[in-house]
Amino acid sequence: MVSSNQTSPVMAFVLLGLSAHPKLKKTFFMLILLMYLVILLGNGVLILVTILDSRLDTPMYFFLGNLSFLDICYTTSSVPLTLNSFLTPRKTISFSACAVQMFLSFAMGATECVLLSVMAFDRYVAICNPLRYSEVMSKATYVPMAAGSWVAGSLTAMVQTSLAMRLPFCGDNIINHFTCEILAVLKLTCADISVNVISMGVTNVIFLGVPVLLITFSYVFIIATILRIPSAEGRRKAFSTCSAHLTVMIVFYGTILFMYGKPKSKDLLGADKQDLADKLISLFCGVVTPMLNPIIYSLRNKDVKGAVRSLVFQKRFPQ
C-alpha cells in the first residue's frame, strides 16, 4: 500500500541544473548570457526592419518577423530560468510556474514547426507560380496562416501540459534539467504515462512529421522549377530567394534530430556524465537556432542586409 506522504501533492520542483558540477556554472553562465543577448539583438533588429522598411512589406518578411518574435519568446521562456539556476545552488520553481514555463517552451517549439512549413509554402508559390503569387499570398491569406501557426502550437502545448501536470508526483521532486522540460518532469510521476506517450507520439507526427513532408515536397518542386530556368543568372536569383529559409530549416530540424535522435552512449562515461552531456546538448540546441536565424537571414538575404544598413545609417546620420 502506498503511504500518504508518497501521494501528497508536489507544491514545487527543484531544478538540478549543474548543481553537481559547480565549477562549470560561471563558464556556462557567461556563454549562455552572451548567446541570449545576441538572440535578443539579432531578432529584435529583424523585427524592427520588417516593420519599418516598406521594401519588406511582403508575406515572406511578415513570416520572418513572426519567426524572430517567436525565437525571442522561446528563449525568454527558458534562458532566464537557466541563467538563474547557475547563480543558485538549488533552484526551486513553483508547480504553477513550472507548468507555465513548460507550456511556453512547448508552444513556441510547435509553432515554429508549423511556421517553417508555411514559409516553405510561400517560397513554393513565389517560385513555382510567380504570376499568381500576389493572388494566392494576399494579406487575407498570409495573416491567418501565421495566426493559425500560433493557435495550433498553443493548443497542442495546452493539451500536453495539462496531461503532464495533472499526474500525481510521488516523493521525489527534483527535475534533472535546467528547466521544466516535459520528458524530465514525466520521469517524476508515479502514475501510468501511456496516455502521455501516445499523445506526444501523435503530436510529433503532426508537428514534426507533417511539416517535414510539406517542406520536402515544396523544395522538390522548387528545385525542379529552378533547374528548368534557362539562364544561370535566373537560377541564381531564384535560389537566393529561398536559400536563407532552407538553411534555417536545416539548422532547426538538424538540431532536433541531433538532440532526440542521437544514440545513447554505451561506453564507460557513466550515468552522471551521460546526463550532463544530454542536458548541455539540450541547452545549446535550444539557443543555437534562435541565435543563427537572424545571422543567416542577414548574410544570405540582400533585402534584409539593405534594410539593416538603411536603419543603421538613419540612426547614425539622421536627416
Phi-psi sector, 295: left (phi>0), alpha (psi -120 to 50), beta: alpha
- What is the predicted pLDDT for the residue at 36? 95
Higher pLDDT residue, 116 or 280? 116
Q: Are 290 and 75 in contact (CB under 8 A)?
A: yes
Domain extents in the chain: 21-261+277-298
Position 299 scores a pLDDT of 66
CATH 1.10.357.10 is held by the domain 21-261+277-298 = no
pLDDT of residue 295: 85
* Stretch among 3-7, 10-14, 132-136 having the lowest mean pLDDT: 3-7
Stretch 266-292: mean pLDDT: 70
Query: Residue 77: pLDDT above 50?
Result: yes
> What single string gives the DSSP state of each residue in 19-83?
TT-GGGHHHHHHHHHHHHHHHHHHHHHHHHHHHH-GGG-SHHHHHHHHHHHHHHHHHHTTHHHHH
pLDDT-derived band at 2, boundaries 50, 70, 90: very low
Q: What is the mean pLDDT of residues 31-45?
A: 93
Q: Which three cell numbers stand for residue 71?
A: 525565437
Q: Count of alpha carbons within 13 Å of 305, Cβ hemisphere only?
A: 9
